[in-house]
Every structure is written in C-alpha cells, then in structure tokens.
Structure 1
C-alpha cells in the first residue's frame, strides 16, 4: 500500500469511529430523556402517596388541626384585627404614644 491509501484508510476508520461515537451519544441522550420522564412520574406518584397517607392518617390530621387552631388563637390574642398591631403590653403602647 502506498502512503495515500494508508492515509485514506485511516481517515475512513476515524470517520467510522466518529459516527459510532455520535450514534452512541444520541442513544444515551434518548435514554436520559426516558429516565427523566420516568423519574418525574415516580416523583409525582410519591407525592400523591404522601398526600394520601396524610389524609388517611386521622391522628396526623388531628395534630395538624390542633396546631392550626393554636396558631389562630395566638394570632387573635396578639394582633388587633383592625390595625394589625401588637396589643397587650402597656409599656409598648406607652412607648408608641411617646414616639408619635
């Protein structure tokens, strides 16, 4: 073989190698998209299962309601609904009057 044909053979083999690498990259990209889609579906299923478990668990719901009720009680006792200011401390009210 002469030098020209050897170079041509090397170029063809290199071209074949590049084509095979490109096809492998494309197949990996397709697999990544499939796996991302599957992962999103699994994540949605897990979220739905967590919500269902929470809704089916009566003690947990009772605890959530008690916490919510306690927050409402705290809010109503510490905040005046009309002005949304903290009430109940005479020293604080006096300090506010002096500052105005």
Structure 2
C-alpha cells in the first residue's frame, strides 16, 4: 500500500491517497512508520502541512513510534515555508525523543 499511496500523492491525488490510508484498518492492515511517513510526505508535498501535523499527532497517539524520517519531513516542510518556530518545535521534540 505504501507504493500506491506514494504514487497517488505524487500524482496530486492526495485525497484518494488519504481515503486509501484510512481504509487500511478496515482491510486488517496496520499502517507502519513508513506508511505514516509516506502519507505525511504526501500532505507536505501538496501544501497540506496542517493535515500532516494532525496525522503526525494521531500517529504519536495510536500508531508506531515516529522515526527520524518523519521528523525530517515535517521540519523541511515548515522550513520551506519559512516557519522557523514550527520547525524548531519539531527539532526540539526530535531531540527529546533521543534523535541527534
């Protein structure tokens, strides 16, 4: 499913990718960190940082532990838009979780 979600996001079909992501539980598939990162990256790539942040929060509550790739995706997205404060929040959180 990761490849399909990534392809949809790259083609600008983020809404379809999101629907597929949301349907995974119904199919008995538990999204892993790569699946979350793929969807978060797709949101960021398509200018949907708030959706990316919301999914990141959901991941921290219900899903697998975030990895450094997910933090990097969010940090870069906020830096690209000049939001240094939000980037710094993610950097500090990343450090507090033991990532250097």
TM-score bucket of the superposed structures, by smaller chain: under 0.3
| Greater gyration radius | 1
Higher helix share: 1
TM-score, normalization by structure 1: 0.18
Question: Larger RCO: Structure 1 or Structure 2 (Cα < 8 Å, ≥ 6 residues apart)?
Answer: 2
